[in-house]
């Protein structure tokens, strides 16, 4: 052991270090190698990693029964992904392909990178679940089951997670600009199956917009062609989605509002002008009669930040706290569009949500040129963007950005907390849909007649 440092003190220090620093300490001296061989070190390290990933809480609970070797492998996998995600040249990578006879309108890669949900158009709208099996040389991306959805003119879908961090798919059929309902599906990869839990329809006004879900809360706006807008928040459970919730009026925006569910008590609202914090009233049982009998609350909001010369483009994902009553969350990122240059803004807005009893602290960081593209999709700690200006006949560059959620002791986040890598995909056929999984480091692309899964964690990358 190091002179003057008891083992319990060293263990406390190790608990606060990222996996990369622990691996470095193991190479420093024999004493540190011995203390980092303790199972408690690897268990705490992996628990900290998994707590920041959209993996089921059952999986997190199972970590306690894993051997030290299993825990080490999980920690090393995360360290490898961290090291490869921001490499400047990701030319070496593994690619799996599959034919796709129908037009893929949307795709979602589930945590772990082994399952894909497709929203297909052709002979009616359908949801299809595919398994990614790299060991199966003849069919590495295999279709399993499909489910028909209401055959409207269009369908929007959103992948989110339940209170137990199980995957949930929100499917919103559209007729023109109107969303007629929210269909909530549970995703089961064991059976496998896609099961409709509940359908939410408008109660007051003509259509639904800006639906989102996190934990056991479903939030959405009801609006019409006027300025009338009502925010609904429902507890989504076995029988509570229609019976328990709240309605809020006088919110600061209409149909352009983005909603981020932070906890059971707070929402982040983002419109073209500003970022707001909404404090949720206590949920109440809803009357069984007409909507006219429902109590509608006035919004209790706090303005966090006012945009100047920019407007929000993409809001990052939120992850329901492991301890719901705690309310402490990972930082929330918002990328914007520069209205002055009419192009992607290099500014990223960060909300520190670590203090549940205080308003979020706002930070703005101007990123490097390699991070200039607004992400096509944003996860919790990673995001993926592509160059929209790239001609279809050329190989399309994909930009992968990683974000460090921990603030420096010396001050706020800086440009050094964002690292960007570059991946080039040959455009044999145009890709128009993309999804990624920040747990496995896999990215999925869909084009006409083609589905491609890229694994950027090929071990050749670090050689």
The H-or-E segment that residue 431 falls in is strand 431-437
- Cα distances (Å, whole numbers) of residue 291 to 137, 226, 238, 281: 56, 19, 22, 18
- 66 located within any domain: yes
- Which residue, 82, 104, 127, sits at the end of a domain? 82
Q: 174 and 244: one domain? A: yes
Work out the angle between the directed axes of helices 68-85 and 39-51 (0-180°, nearest 10): 50
Beta-bridge partners for 274 = 306
Q: 13 and 144: one domain? A: no
Q: 93 and 77: one domain? A: no
What the block records as the tokens of 3 is: 């002179």
- 12 located within any domain: yes
- Which residue, 82, 109, 133, sits at the end of a domain? 82
Q: 174 and 208: one domain? A: yes
- 78 located within any domain: yes
pLDDT of residue 251: 77
Total of domains in the chain: 2
pLDDT of residue 460: 44
pTM of the model: 0.88
Beta-bridge partners for 259 = 269
- 455 located within any domain: yes
Instruction: Name the one residue in this structure whose structure tokens are 């006004």.
Output: 205
pLDDT of residue 240: 45
Q: Could you tell me which residues come within 8 angstroms of residue 333 by beta carbon, excluding any fewer than 6 positions away?
A: 315, 316, 348, 349, 350, 351, 378, 383, 403
- 2 located within any domain: no
- 1 located within any domain: no
Q: 111 and 60: one domain? A: no
- Which residue, 37, 66, 82, sits at the end of a domain? 82
Q: 25 and 125: one domain? A: no
Q: 218 and 345: one domain? A: yes
Q: 109 and 23: one domain? A: no
pLDDT digit of tens for each residue in the chain (463 aa)? 555 677 778 788 888 788 888 888 888 888 888 888 889 999 999 998 988 888 888 888 899 999 999 999 999 999 999 888 888 877 667 788 888 878 888 999 999 999 999 998 877 888 999 998 877 666 678 888 888 886 666 888 999 988 888 999 999 887 666 677 889 999 999 889 999 988 887 766 567 888 888 888 899 888 765 566 788 888 876 444 456 888 887 776 555 788 999 888 899 999 888 999 999 888 887 766 555 566 788 888 899 999 998 888 888 888 876 555 445 588 999 998 888 888 888 899 999 988 888 889 999 999 887 777 777 778 888 998 876 666 555 677 888 899 988 877 778 899 989 988 888 876 555 778 889 998 998 999 887 788 888 888 865 433 3
Write out the residue range of the structural domain in which residue 75 sits.
7-82
Q: What is the CATH number of the domain that holds 282?
A: 2.130.10.10
Strands (E), 42-192: 94-99, 103-109, 115-121, 126-132, 141-148, 154-161, 167-175, 178-179, 182-188
Q: Give the chain's radius of gyration (CA, Å).
A: 23
The H-or-E segment that residue 69 falls in is helix 68-85
Q: Is 155 in contact with 147 (CB distance < 8 Å)?
A: no
pLDDT of residue 205: 59
Q: 380 and 242: one domain? A: yes
CA 272, 275, 276, 277 torsion-angle sign: positive
- 277 located within any domain: yes
- By C-alpha distance, which of 426, 295, 315, 306 is closest to 378? 315
- The backbone region for 232, taken as left when phi is positive above 0, alpha when psi lies in -120 to 50, beta otherwise, is beta
Q: 160 and 255: one domain? A: yes
Q: Is 210 in contact with 220 (CB distance < 8 Å)?
A: yes
- 69 located within any domain: yes
Q: 258 and 373: one domain? A: yes
Q: 76 and 98: one domain? A: no
């Amino acid at each position: 052991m190091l002179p003057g440092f008891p083992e319990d003190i060293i263990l406390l220090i190790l608990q606060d270090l990222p996996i990369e620093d622990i691996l470095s300490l193991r190479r420093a001296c024999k004493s540190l190698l011995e203390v980092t061989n303790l199972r408690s070190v690897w268990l705490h390290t992996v628990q900290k990693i998994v707590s920041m990933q959209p993996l089921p809480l059952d999986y997190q609970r199972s970590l306690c029964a894993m051997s030290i070797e299993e825990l080490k492998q999980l920690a090393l996998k995360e360290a490898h992904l961290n090291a490869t995600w921001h490499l400047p040249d990701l030319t070496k990578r593994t690619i799996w392909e599959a034919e796709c006879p129908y037009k893929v309108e949307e795709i979602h890669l589930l945590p772990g990178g082994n399952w894909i949900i497709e929203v297909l158009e052709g002979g009616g709208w359908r949801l299809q679940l595919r398994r990614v099996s790299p060991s199966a040389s003849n069919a590495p991306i295999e279709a399993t089951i499909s489910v028909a959805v209401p055959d409207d003119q269009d369908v929007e879908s959103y992948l989110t997670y339940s209170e137990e961090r199980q995957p949930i798919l929100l499917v919103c059929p559209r007729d023109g600009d109107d969303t007629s309902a929210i269909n909530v599906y549970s995703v089961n990869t064991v059976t496998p199956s896609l099961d409709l839990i509940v359908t939410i329809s408008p109660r007051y006004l003509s259509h639904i917009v800006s639906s989102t879900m996190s934990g056991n809360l479903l939030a959405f706006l009801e609006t019409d062609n006027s300025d009338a807008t009502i925010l609904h928040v429902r507890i989504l459970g076995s029988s509570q989605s229609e019976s328990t919730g709240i309605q809020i009026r006088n919110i600061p925006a209409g149909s352009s509002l983005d909603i981020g569910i932070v906890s059971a008590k707070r929402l982040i609202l983002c419109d073209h002008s500003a970022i707001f914090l909404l404090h949720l009233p206590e949920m109440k049982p809803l009357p069984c009669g007409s909507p006219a009998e429902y109590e509608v609350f006035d919004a209790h909001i706090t303005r966090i930040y006012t945009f100047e010369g920019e407007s929000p483009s993409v809001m990052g994902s939120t992850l329901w706290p492991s301890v719901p009553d705690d309310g402490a969350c990972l930082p929330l990122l918002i990328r914007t569009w520069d209205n002055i240059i009419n192009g992607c803004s290099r500014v990223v807005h960060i909300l520190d949500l670590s203090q549940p009893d205080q308003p979020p602290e706002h930070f703005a960081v101007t990123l490097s040129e390699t991070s200039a593209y607004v992400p096509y999709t944003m996860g919790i700690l990673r995001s993926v963007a592509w160059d929209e200006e790239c001609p279809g006949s050329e190989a399309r560059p994909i930009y992968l950005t990683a974000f460090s959620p921990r603030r420096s002791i010396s001050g706020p986040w800086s440009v050094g907390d964002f690292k960007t890598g570059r991946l080039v995909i040959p455009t044999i056929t145009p890709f128009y849909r993309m999804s990624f999984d920040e747990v496995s480091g896999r990215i999925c692309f869909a084009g006409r007649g083609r589905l491609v899964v890229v694994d950027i964690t090929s071990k050749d990358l670090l050689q």
